[in-house]
Structure 1
Amino acid sequence: MTFTRRYVALGDSFTEGVGDTDPGSPNGVRGWADRVAEQLIHADPSWGFANLAIRGKKMRQILDEQIDAALALEPNLVTIYAGANDILRPRVDIDQLMDRYDDGVRRLRESGADVVLFTGFDASASAVFGTTRGRTAIYNELVREIADRRGALIVDYWRLREFQDWGYWDVDRMHMSTAGHTLMAVRVLEAMSASHRIDLPELAERPALRRLAQVRADAQWAREYLTPWVGRRLRRVSSGDGLSAKYPALVHPRWASGAS
């Protein structure tokens, strides 16, 4: 099939769709980018979609491995979020990082593609990841400057306060849940002024845990998710090692036959 309009999604686990489990999708996840593509294709079947994002990728890897691949597909639209995994490292030169990011966005924009960028999430509510809040705030200001300089759209994740509700997060407390990815798809489409048929999810109420129960829940989370995450970083391995991009070529994925 020949696609006259082409959307390519770039990034890490956020864009790959980790947390939005779907056994029928490649890598076992769906995600907000796939949901955005579904709406675009529903409105205009001439859209093709590729998702090159792979979990665990740092900015250098995303720029080196995904930009050229995206440009080869001659995209009309690119979404890219990179840098979150760098910010979580013990040391990072944010200015140098963002200089490279700016160059990558420049290349995408000079190809003629519309580009959508993202600020980082405000993790102040997390006892673990909240320690990177200052870095993320600096990153966000530089992303806004890049968006202004390059004429890119921006989804201001930092200011989407509804994501402070833990109902939008997976049990690993690191990735959005299905509800979170659904809400993010809506916010991305709104930033693009694109129509959609996505109903915002209703969150089930989560009763507050008593102190002892919360301590136990936190300890279980640390054993099952935080400790393995730290261990991978100490061993310099990634959750994405051995994985391939979900949709490396332009396609109409199986879910594109109708919006849901």
Structure 2
Amino acid sequence: MREDSGGGKNARRRYVAIGDSFTEGVGDPSKVLPNGVRGWADRVAEKLAKAQPGWEYANLAVRSKRLRHIIDEQLQPAIDMEPTLITLYAGGNDILDFGTDMEALLDDYELLVARLRETGATVVLFTGFDVKVSAVLEPFKKRNTLYNERVRGIASKYGALLVDYWCFDAYKDSRMWSPDRLHMSKAGHKYLAAQVLDHLDIPHKISPKEWEPPTRLTLREWERRQRRWVNDWVVPLFGRKLRGVTLGDSLQPRWPQPVKVPRKGGLKKLMEAYPRYHRR
């Protein structure tokens, strides 16, 4: 991983995360952290600081953002921060939109990655997981496959690190997912943080969740859960799409300016000073 100033204790270490709900941390609730979530990126920042003092961290990701929003709203602010590490996941919301031109989307994604790599920072990309939630979302499977193929090629072309999320068998367990079945649960976010840290060769002690085998559902229980999921999550999701509104419309980035992450206590120790960082 690139570090400015030739390395050593005075080297600049700055991690900037950009993207959507995947990186914001949706599915991993927190009563004290910004936007009410924590997520894998916060955990990565904390472990970076614990392993190497001096790490700064900004997280510009906001739920529901499409690729065009990330390019328009997050790209230049991220570049201006002169990061040494950038993580990017973008395009998942576009995949679920009606009428998305996947070729055009992925061409824009490649241009975004090229801009990020021009900074000289280490760039980490992610494939998308093939979430087996319902036949309702099966029409989007081909889009996800195309997305993953192009992301792998782009990562190779531009020398980015690739966290091939699609390959992680651990996410076949429903307990790795939040109730909406589209966002990771706390356990899912912790597992992904460990994977990112492993790709960066950063030591950590995050271990996979050990569960008893899941209880087998009766047909009636399965049908009841399906109906609840459709009513609570699928219908509102498509309703928002038809109205042209998103859950992120009223939200600001969680860590809009780089904050120095304490080696002990993590980001929770910053919360007293958080309004200073959040004010624009």
Distance 1:33 1:239 in 2: 20
**Does 2:62 correspond to 1:54?**
yes
For residues 12 and 189 of structure 2, the distance between their equivalents in structure 1, rounded to whole angstroms, comes to 27
Aligned to 1:257, which of 260, 264, 270? Answer: 264
Q: For 1:154-173, what aligned pairs fall within 5 Å after superposition?
A: 154-173=162-181
Q: Does 1:241 find its partner at 2:249?
A: yes
Contact 2:49 2:261 in 1 (8 A): no
Counterpart of 2:119 in structure 1 is 111
Q: Tell me, in whole angstroms, the C-alpha distance in 1 between the residues paired with 2:256 and 2:67.
A: 19
**Aligned 8 A contact 1:3 1:48 in 2:** no
1:109-258 mapped onto 2 (5 Å cutoff):
109-124=117-132, 126-203=134-211, 205-252=213-260, 257-258=264-265
What TM-score, normalized by structure 2, do the two folds share? 0.88
Whole-Å separation in 2 of the counterparts to 1:116 and 1:126: 30
- Which of the numbers 80, 100, 109 marks the counterpart of 1:101? 109
Answer yes or no: is the 8 Å Cα contact 1:39–1:197 preserved in 2: no
AA at the equivalent of 1:257: K
Q: Which residues of structure 1 form unaligned runs of 5+?
A: none
Larger mean CA deviation between 2-11 and 34-43 belongs to 2-11
Distance 2:84 2:59 in 1: 14
Alpha-carbon distance in structure 1 between the residues aligned to 2:211 and 2:21 = 23
Report deviation, 1:259.
Answer: 6.7
Counterpart Cα distance in 2 of 1:96 and 1:158: 22
Q: Would you say how many aligned residue pairs link Structure 1 and Structure 2?
A: 258
C-alpha contact 1:21 1:30 (8 A) present in aligned 2: yes
Q: Is the 2:55–2:261 Cα contact (8 Å) retained in structure 1?
A: no
Note the alpha carbon deviations across 1:152-210, whole angstroms, 9 max, x for none.
Answer: 00010111121111010011111100000000001111122221121222235431211
What is the CA-CA distance between 1:3 and the residue it aligns to? Answer: 8.1
Gaps of 5+ in 2: 1-9, 268-280
Secondary structure of the residue aligned to 1:240 is coil
**Quick one: which of 61, 67, 71 aligns to 2:75?**
67
CA contact (8 A) 1:168 1:177 kept: yes
| Counterpart in the other structure of 1:81 | 89
Deviations 1:19-75 (A, max 9, x none): 000111100000001111110011112110000000000011011111101011100
Query: 2:6 is matched with which residue?
Result: none
